[in-house]
Amino acid sequence: MTPPVLVGVDGSSESTAAAHWAAEEAVRRGAPLRLVHAWPWLTDGRSAFVEEDSPPAVARRMLADTAAAVRDRHPGLSVNTDVVLDAAVDGLVSAAGNAGLLVLGSRGLGGFAELLVGSVSMATAARSAAPVVLVRPVRERPEAAPGEPGEVLVGIDTQDPDDSVLAFAFREAGLRGARLRAVHGWDLPPAFATVGFIPSQADLGEIEALEAKGLALALAGWRERHPETEVVEEVRLGAARALVEASATADLVVVGRRRRPHDLGPRLGRVAHAVIHHAYAPVAVVPHD
């Protein structure tokens, strides 16, 4: 059975948008959709003393309303709901253990004031074993030309390209019949700044040519395995900025997140962190070793 697409729902407009995005993704994958609300102080809802306006009852109604809205748009989609009796991040991370994908709105999950800046979404993306898609509010972006194919954007580290990230990106492009734009953003060696060296345009051209060769090498095998997918290779100066700028025409941005064996230190790299906050399109964070 195809693993479900899981979406965190809290009744906010952001989580509702995430639910509809997740439903479309579930249809593309031929997967069931699971709507989850995580809250640590809810009862299991089976008590005869649960009031109509109590948190458990409100949570169940909210999930039911969201499920009804999703089924209205996608009548054939299998949709189920669940209340997870745990803190928002822990509950979502645990629930995502058997999911093929976890989808979250970029704001609001959990109902705490501080979560309005996206702390739950960020923390969940940093810990989830499943890929996480963060659906941002719609931002103004250029309109695609008529007949132009959709585009999946993936950031690639040519020094350490990861199969999990590339596999996810190629799969998403294939499911959507979209073009894959592979972007490698490179930075000048720190030693340049240390010694005050300012490279000439010729120097920059040589460095960029080497970076382009590295990108082509990282993609060579994947191109052969996916001849049906149009691949555009792009090398730009500035890793995070390159992806943010390229996201203006993308339907989905894919970045990697290295798994860590312990809880110390940040779990999202600086590039993933910047892209999550500033990209124009939904961002998929794919964990890898």
- Domains of the chain, by residue range, sit at 5-135, 151-288
Give the pLDDT confidence score for residue 246 in this predicted structure. Answer: 92
DSSP 8-state secondary structure symbol assigned to residue 275: H
Structure tokens at 159: 């020094």
Backbone angles phi, psi at 134, to 5 degrees: -100, 115
Question: In CATH, what is the architecture of 5-135?
Answer: 3-Layer(aba) Sandwich (3.40)
First to last CA, the chain: 26
- Report the candidate in 75, 62, 49 with the shortest Cα–Cα distance to residue 7: 62
H or E, element range at 218: helix 201-225
Q: Is 147 left (phi over 0), alpha (psi -120 to 50) or beta?
A: left
Residue 106 has pLDDT above 60, yes or no: yes
Q: What is the CATH number of domain 151-288?
A: 3.40.50.620
Return the DSSP state at 3.
P
User: Tens digits of per-residue pLDDT, 19-63?
Assistant: 999 999 999 999 999 999 987 765 544 444 445 556 677 888 999
Distance CA 262, CA 256 (A): 18
Two structure tokens written together for 257: 């997140």
* pTM score: 0.87
**Quick one: average pLDDT of 280-289?**
92
Intrachain domains 5-135 and 151-288 with the same fold: yes
Residue 142: CB atoms within 10 Å: 8
Residue 71 has pLDDT above 90, yes or no: yes
119 confidence band (pLDDT: 50, 70, 90):
confident
Residue 177 CA to residue 113 CA, distance in Å, equals 40
How sure is the predictor about 113, in pLDDT bands with cuts at 50, 70 and 90?
very low
pLDDT in tens, 238-275: 888 999 999 998 999 999 998 865 555 447 888 888 89
**pLDDT tens digits, 139-152:** 555 566 666 779 99
Helix (H, G, I), strand (E, B) or coil at 2: coil
Q: What is the mean pLDDT of residues 113-138?
A: 76
